Amino acid sequence: MSIFGSMKTAVSGMNAQANRLSTVADNIANVNTSGYKAVSTSFSSLVLPSSGGNYNSGGVQSSVRQAVSDQGDISYTTSSTDLAISGDGFFIVQGADGTPVLTRAGDFQKDDEGNLVNAAGFQLMGYSYDSGSPAVVVNGFDGLVPINVTQDGLTAIASTSGVFKGNLDSNAKVAPVAPATLPSANLATTTTDTKKVSMVAYDRLGNKVMYDFYFTKTSVAAAPPPAPPATAASWQVSMFRNADAAVGGNTSFPYTTASVGTGTLNFDANGKLTTGGAVNIVDPVTGQTIAMDFSAFTQLGADFSGTGTPNGQAATPVKDVTIDGDGIVYAKYEDGSTKPLYRIPLANVASPDKLTLMSGNVYSANGQSGVTVTGFPQTNGLGTIKSGALEGSNVDLAGELTEMIESQRSYTANSKVFQTGSDIMDVLVNLKR
């Protein structure tokens, strides 16, 4: 047995307990840090070869473990840009050097340029909707841009398509089929069975443009026996600019401009639309073409009903920015409409607890953690994004205080071993005298 060896063993014990105390200090210091993951110290023995009655003391070594995969408690806030992840995954952020890293710290706020930045100064990254609905790059960070929620001024979106749905009464009478008597001829005296409904769309400047829709039954097909009475029929739909309607009188006809769109809707004996579901509005005044979809119409024995929902948007200012559970960042306009701006992806690795911890409560992948895989929230095992919420640290403060006391006692005990070894060494030195 070596006295010097026992002193070295005591030193290794003190070093190990010092590391343990350092992790406790770090955990306690970050007990209120959003998204912070607790670290802990584990120990393993170092054994030196011994023979017979001669024992050689070895020592102890410590290693640090991270509890990255343990979920912290989620608390709700009043800021819509505070984000928490419920489940697996990390936000993708970038620092001043532009390098993408991972974090669970979602305390994002707008900086002076409108970018979402957390308390450590890292910018939140996402995919833009400028080129349409984004697609995720599963094995990299290509295509990600800083999310900017500053939307100054007014935004107008021209209508390019619309959906019209409803029901045409199968008991309606067939109108006279002479071309001059149909609404499309712009000379018609409509009957009670010709139904009219209007829809508002938007031009390129965000101005409202109203269109009048006329539905007229033009023919009924005879159903062969033993089918029920004939119900298969054709209807004409004609569309006009409401602003060009006649002023005064009992009818809007004649309009000062011709029909901006006419089509035929054909229904089978079961009241289902078979052909003619797509009709375009070609407006000579605005220069727009609006593709109308009538495929949801039916012809059943019920009163007429119809409603139109075009795309597009009036010129309105942005009132707020909202973020849903799928990570889509919406601009909410003053008129209540919304527009997607960005989509926030999440990233994950095979072994999150092996990620490399960096300053600012961020992580980077390495050979032990596995490669980074990117996806949208609620897909491929990734969690949900909660807006107006923060994930707290997963530190157990009571447990850390207990660890601190244990570490202190163990350190003191090891120091006593070192001190005893030192005293024995003094005895050996004094024997020489």
pLDDT tens digits, 45-79: 888 877 767 777 888 988 999 999 999 999 999 99
Terminal Cα-to-Cα distance of the chain (whole angstroms): 23
Structural domain boundaries in the chain: 3-67+394-431, 78-145+344-392, 155-315
Of 356 and 55, the structure prediction assigns the larger pLDDT to 356
pLDDT at 325 over 60: yes
Q: What pLDDT does 427 receive?
A: 84
Q: What pLDDT does 313 receive?
A: 85
User: With contact defined as beta carbons under 8 Å apart, do 59 and 12 qualify?
Assistant: yes
Q: Give me the mean pLDDT over the 79-90 stretch.
A: 95
What is the pLDDT confidence band of residue 403, given thresholds at 50, 70 and 90? Answer: very high
Q: What pLDDT does 329 receive?
A: 94
Tokens of 269: 């004996």
pLDDT tens digits, 368-388: 999 999 999 999 899 999 999
CA angle 94, 99, 100 (to 5 degrees): 55
Q: Give me the mean pLDDT over the 259-270 stretch.
A: 94
Q: What pLDDT does 430 receive?
A: 83
- With a pLDDT cut of 70, the percent of the chain lying above it is 94
For 194, residues 6+ apart whose C-beta sits below 8 A from its C-beta are 175, 183, 188, 214, 215, 216
Measured torsion, CA atoms of residues 284, 290, 295, 300, in degrees rounded to the nearest 10 = -50
Q: What pLDDT does 75 receive?
A: 95
Q: What pLDDT does 229 receive?
A: 54
pLDDT at 414 over 80: yes
What is the pLDDT confidence band of residue 208, given thresholds at 50, 70 and 90? Answer: very high
Supply the CATH classification number for the domain 155-315. Answer: 2.60.98.20
Window from 208-212, 263-267, 328-332, 422-426 with minimum mean pLDDT: 422-426
Rounded (10°) angle between helices 397-431 and 3-29: 160
C-beta pairs of 279-282 under 8 Å, 24+ apart in sequence: 279/237, 279/239, 281/162, 281/201, 281/211, 281/239
- How confident is the prediction for the chain on average, in pLDDT? 90
pLDDT at 114 over 60: yes
Q: Which residues pair with 196 in a beta bridge?
A: 214
In this structure, which amino acid lies at residue 195? K
Q: What pLDDT does 214 receive?
A: 94
pLDDT tens digits, 387-396: 999 999 999 9
CA angle 312, 313, 317 (to 5 degrees): 155
Q: Give me the mean pLDDT over the 285-307 stretch.
A: 95
Q: What pLDDT does 320 receive?
A: 84
Tokens of 392: 């707290």
pTM for this structure? 0.68
- HEC per residue, the chain: CCHHHHHHHHHHHHHHHHHHHHHHHHHHHCCCCCCCCCEEEEEEEECCCCECCECCCCEEEEEEEECCCCCCCEEECCCCCEEEEECCCEEEEECCCCCEEEECCCECEECCCCEEECCCCCEEEEEECCCCCCCCCCCCCCCCEECECCCCCEEEECCCEEEEEEEEECCCCCCCCCHHHCHHHCCCCCCCCCEEEEEEEECCCCCEEEEEEEEEEEEECCCCCCCCCCCCEEEEEEEEEHHHCCCCCCCCCCCCCCCCEEEEEEECCCCEEEECCEEEEECCCCCCEEEEECCCCEEECCCCEEEEEECCEEEEEEEEEEECCCCEEEEEECCCCEEEEEECCEEECCCHHHCEEECCCEEECCCCCCCCEEECCCCCCCCEEEECEEECCCCCHHHHHHHHHHHHHHHHHHHHHHHHHHHHHHHHHHHCC
In this structure, which amino acid lies at residue 243? A
Distance CA 347, CA 330 (A): 21
pLDDT at 39 over 90: yes
Window from 68-82, 203-217, 327-341, 399-413 with minimum mean pLDDT: 327-341
Q: What pLDDT does 314 receive?
A: 86
pLDDT tens digits, 172-205: 988 766 666 788 888 766 677 889 999 999 999 9
pLDDT at 152 over 80: no
What is the pLDDT confidence band of residue 432, given thresholds at 50, 70 and 90? Answer: low
pLDDT at 354 over 90: yes
